[in-house]
Amino acid sequence: MALLGLAVIIGTMTVGALKSIKTIQNVGGTVDAKKFSNLATINYTRSGIYLKVVLVFVLCCWLFSVLDAYKMGKKSLLKENGE
């Protein structure tokens, strides 16, 4: 599930980046870092809550995985020590 969430984030950001490059080229300008950064920030702001929800979901999945791995490791150590 976390991988799917990351794919959504990466896909959305890639499409936004490509749109930004196309916008800069249509205006007749050259693609430089400052223009691209400004347009990427605008695109991220527009996608707003959608990407933030997906990001929170990915972080929750990651946190659950870390806690689960810790619990399983602790059980394994207790089992090895005969406790």
Q: Distances in Å between the alpha carbon of 70 and those of 15, 22, 33, 34, 75?
A: 37, 46, 42, 43, 9
The pTM of the full predicted model, rounded to 2 decimals, is: 0.55
pLDDT at residue 32, as a whole number: 72
Total of domains in the chain: 1
70 within a domain of the structure (yes/no): no
44 within a domain of the structure (yes/no): yes
pLDDT tens per residue across span 10-67: 887 778 778 777 877 787 767 777 776 776 777 666 666 777 787 888 889 889 999 9
79 within a domain of the structure (yes/no): no
Q: Are 25 and 31 in contact (CB under 8 A)?
A: yes
Domain span including residue 18 = 2-58
